[in-house]
């Protein structure tokens, strides 16, 4: 049976893993390669490395971190942050990533999704959507949550799938870093709108939150950062609790 | 020496890295003549079945067929395993090697496609490639098309239907999942391939 994936996310700033609350107040959480290896040993099904303050100036920092992290990592490895064109994606794949995550650039120019998918396959393209609830809908934000786009998250996910995205990484900005639970309404709306897998992100705080997002939210995978870095929730322990709650997970692993 | 065939379909560094980690000597090559000197051959691959058309361009297809019919141990991964069959619905203009009968088909509409994530293996026969791999071990998949279950199927996986997770016949091995991305289980399978004698 296909299992629900638990994905450990490393938000990287200047070559270090950091974690903030609602995309702000960053705290240091360690070296990317060491964090990734530790999470994989602990049972993470996948690792995502996001360069959250990516600019062209620190491109080499990102590629160096990707190379170091990929060297001894034998689970799927996704890299995002600052990928604006096909060449950026190619460099990240060359450094050892299995998938790239694109956000701002994909929202601005959905044809970038098709271009990367045509060359590296849809399985290698994760479209990251950062969404915030408004009175009537979920609005997409770009540039690390700083810039509103006026676009609807569900429409944006549908368009990404049509363009050839392999997966949607859906972050609730309202819940990010709060450990108050995933936004199951948002996740379910998107998961039911597209036929590609949806990774829920933002708000993970307890095993109960994961159970909820996999059942009520219909998520295929769930991503978390802060609760894993500071040891609040151990991934192996989390997977055992999910297993006991009859959520199919890779356990023991 | 293990030759990892590079035909321009995505990133092969993860397969090479896994063999490096195991201490096996592996080279990534797009030169058909290297296959003749290699002890074993790996045909990796991700993406679209049409990318296999690149094998036709420089004599790589003939070199592969010659090596496989000559008894050289061969491991096809993902698209590389699908190449062992007659073809795929994904791209009907390109034919596989036809070493195994049947075509790769799409998953039924009852399940999401692509099939992405960790799924379990039902190991069906005494397999050399899957030696000492526990029943129901989890491996990582990412694919939209699947190969049928047949006599050479050494392990199957369920996703909307039962499909061939691994095939094995004499010197020919294929896995639909990605052993290079399947943690310790995957590394053990690649180690078995390094040790296999045909």
Tell me which residue of B55, B118, B51 sits closest to B79, measured CA to CA.
B51
Q: What is the DSSP letter of A3?
A: P
Region of poorest pLDDT, from A29-33, A166-170, B28-32? A29-33
Termini Cα distance of chain B: 15
Euclidean distance between CA atoms A76 and B176, whole angstroms: 15
Residue A236 has φ and ψ, to the nearest 5°, of -60, -45
Tell me which residue of B21, B79, B71, B77 sits closest to B196, measured CA to CA.
B71
**A76 and B140 in contact by Cβ < 8 A?**
yes
Asked if the bond preceding A252 is cis, omega within 30° of 0, the reply is: yes
Q: B187 to each of A239, B22, B40, B76, B117, how far by Cα in Å? A: 22, 8, 17, 15, 17
ipTM for the assembly? 0.91
Active site residue A51: no
Euclidean distance between CA atoms A111 and A105, whole angstroms: 10
**Class of the CATH domain delimited by A5-244:** alpha beta
Question: Which of B113, B159, B183 lies nearest to residue A253, judging by beta carbons?
Answer: B183
CB B8 within 8 Å of CB B51:
yes
**B181 and A72 in contact by Cβ < 8 A?**
no
CB A168 within 8 Å of CB A129:
yes
Contacts of A184 (CB under 8 A, 6+ apart): A212, A213, A216, A217
Cα B36 from chain centroid (whole Å): 20
Q: Quote the strand ranges of chain B, DSSP E.
A: 2-5, 26-29, 40-43, 74-77, 87-88, 103-106, 115-120, 122-123, 138-143, 145-146, 153-158, 162-169, 172-175
* Max intra-chain CA distance, chain A: 47
pLDDT at site A115: 94
pLDDT band at A204; cut points 50, 70, 90: very high
Q: Say yes or no to pLDDT of B99 above 80.
A: yes
Give A122→chain B minimum CA distance, Å: 7
Q: Which residue of A has its CA nearest to B46?
A: A121
Residue A231: CB atoms within 10 Å: 7
- Pairs from A23-27 (Cβ < 8 Å, separation ≥ 24): A23/A52, A23/A144, A23/A145, A23/A146, A23/A173, A23/A176, A23/A177
| Chain A residue numbers touching B118 (CB-CB < 8 A) | 2-3, 5, 45, 250
The winner for highest mean pLDDT among A7-21, A143-157, B45-59, B168-182 is: B168-182
**B47 and A124 in contact by Cβ < 8 A?**
yes
Place of tokens 């399940």: B111
Q: Say yes or no to pLDDT of A21 above 60.
A: no
Q: Say yes or no to pLDDT of B118 above 90.
A: yes
User: Which pTM does this prediction carry?
Assistant: 0.94
| Chain B residue numbers touching A94 (CB-CB < 8 A) | 11, 13
| Domain assignments of chain A as residue spans, ordered by start | 5-244
Taking residues A152-157, report their average pLDDT. Answer: 96
Catalytic residue among A13, A45, A130, A209: A130
Residue numbers of B between 137 and 196 with CB closer than 8 Å to A: 138, 140, 142-144, 158-159, 178, 180-184, 186-187
DSSP code per residue over A231-251 = TSS-HHHHHHHHHHTT-----
Place of tokens 């991700």: B46
Taking residues B120-128, report their average pLDDT. Answer: 92
Q: Which residues of A make CB contacts under 8 Å with B?
A: 1-5, 40, 45, 70-72, 74-76, 93-94, 96-98, 119-124, 166-167, 195-197, 220-221, 250, 253
Q: Say yes or no to pLDDT of B128 above 60.
A: yes
| Chain B residue numbers touching A3 (CB-CB < 8 A) | 117-120, 138
Question: Which of A97, A123, A195 lies nearest to residue B142, judging by beta carbons?
Answer: A123
pLDDT at site B166: 98
| Chain B residue numbers touching A124 (CB-CB < 8 A) | 10-11, 46-47
**A221 and B117 in contact by Cβ < 8 A?**
yes
Residue A178: CB atoms within 10 Å: 15
| Chain B residue numbers touching A122 (CB-CB < 8 A) | 47, 114, 144
Tell me the pLDDT tens digit for each residue of B13-66.
899 999 999 999 999 999 999 999 999 999 998 777 888 888 988 899 999 999
The DSSP bridge partners found for residue B88 are B104
Give B66→chain A minimum CA distance, Å: 28
Domains in chain B: ranges and CATH: 2-195 (3.40.50.880)
Q: Helix or strand or coil: residue B139?
A: strand
Tell me which residue of B86, B91, B99, B82 sits closest to B146, measured CA to CA.
B82
A-B CB pairs within 8 A amount to 97
Q: Say yes or no to pLDDT of B85 above 80.
A: yes
Taking residues A113-133, report their average pLDDT. Answer: 93
pLDDT at site B9: 67
pLDDT band at A177; cut points 50, 70, 90: confident
pLDDT at site A108: 86
Give B147→chain A minimum CA distance, Å: 17
Q: Which residue of A has its CA nearest to B185?
A: A253
Please identify every residue of B annotated as catalytic: 78, 178, 180
pLDDT at site B194: 98
Tell me which residue of A211, A150, A219, A222 sits closest to A190, measured CA to CA.
A219
Strand pairing category for A5-13 and A16-21: antiparallel
Q: Say yes or no to pLDDT of B11 above 70.
A: no
Euclidean distance between CA atoms B29 and B112, whole angstroms: 35
pLDDT band at A55; cut points 50, 70, 90: low
Q: Is the dihedral of CA B185, B189, B195, B196 positive or negative?
A: positive
Give B191→chain A minimum CA distance, Å: 14
Q: Say yes or no to pLDDT of A57 above 70.
A: no
DSSP code per residue over B64-91 = HHHHHHTT--EEEETHHHHTTSSEETT-
pLDDT at site A62: 86
Mean model confidence pLDDT for chain B:
94
pLDDT at site B129: 98
């Amino acid at each position: 049976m296909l299992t629900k994936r638990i994905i450990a996310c490393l938000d990287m700033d200047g070559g270090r893993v950091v974690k903030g609350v609602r995309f702000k107040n960053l705290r240091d959480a360690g070296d990317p390669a060491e964090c990734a290896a530790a999470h994989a040993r602990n049972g993470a099904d996948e690792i995502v490395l996001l360069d959250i303050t990516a600019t062209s100036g620190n491109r080499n920092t990102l590629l160096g971190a990707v190379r170091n992290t990929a060297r001894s990592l034998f689970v799927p490895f996704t890299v995002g942050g600052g990928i604006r064109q096909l060449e950026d994606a190619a460099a990240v794949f060359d450094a050892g990533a299995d998938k790239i995550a694109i956000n701002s650039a994909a929202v601005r120019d959905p044809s970038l999704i098709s271009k990367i998918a045509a060359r590296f396959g849809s399985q290698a393209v994760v479209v990251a959507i950062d969404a915030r609830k408004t009175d009537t809908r979920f609005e997409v934000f770009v540039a690390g949550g700083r810039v509103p786009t006026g676009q609807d998250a569900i429409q944006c996910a549908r368009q990404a799938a049509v363009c050839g995205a392999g997966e949607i990484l859906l972050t609730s900005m309202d819940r990010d870093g709060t450990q108050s639970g995933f936004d199951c309404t948002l996740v379910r709306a998107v998961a039911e709108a597209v036929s590609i897998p949806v990774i829920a992100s933002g708000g993970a705080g307890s095993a109960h939150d994961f159970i909820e997002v996999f059942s009520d939210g219909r998520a295929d995978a769930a991503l978390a950062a802060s609760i894993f870095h500071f040891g609040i929730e151990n991934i192996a322990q989390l997977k055992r609790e999910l297993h006991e709650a009859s959520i199919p997970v890779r356990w023991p692993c | 020496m293990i030759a990892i065939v590079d035909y321009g379909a995505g990133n092969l560094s993860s397969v090479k890295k896994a063999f490096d980690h195991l201490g096996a000597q592996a080279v990534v090559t797009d030169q058909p003549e290297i296959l003749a000197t290699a002890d074993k051959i790996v045909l990796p691959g991700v993406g679209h079945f049409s990318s296999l058309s690149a094998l036709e361009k420089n004599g790589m297809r003939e070199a592969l067929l010659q090596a496989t019919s000559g008894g050289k141990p061969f491991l096809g991964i993902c698209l590389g395993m699908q190449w062992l069959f007659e073809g795929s619905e994904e791209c009907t203009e390109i034919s596989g090697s036809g070493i195994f009968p049947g075509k790769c088909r799409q998953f039924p509409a009852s399940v999401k496609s692509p099939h992405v994530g960790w799924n379990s293996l039902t190991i069906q026969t005494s397999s050399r490639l899957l030696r000492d791999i526990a029943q129901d071990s989890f491996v990582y998949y990412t694919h939209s098309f699947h190969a049928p279950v047949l006599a050479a199927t050494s392990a199957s996986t369920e996703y909307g239907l039962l499909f061939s997770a691994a095939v094995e016949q004499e010197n020919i091995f294929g896995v639909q999942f990605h052993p290079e991305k399947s943690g310790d289980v995957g590394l053990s399978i690649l180690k078995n391939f390094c040790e296999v004698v045909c």
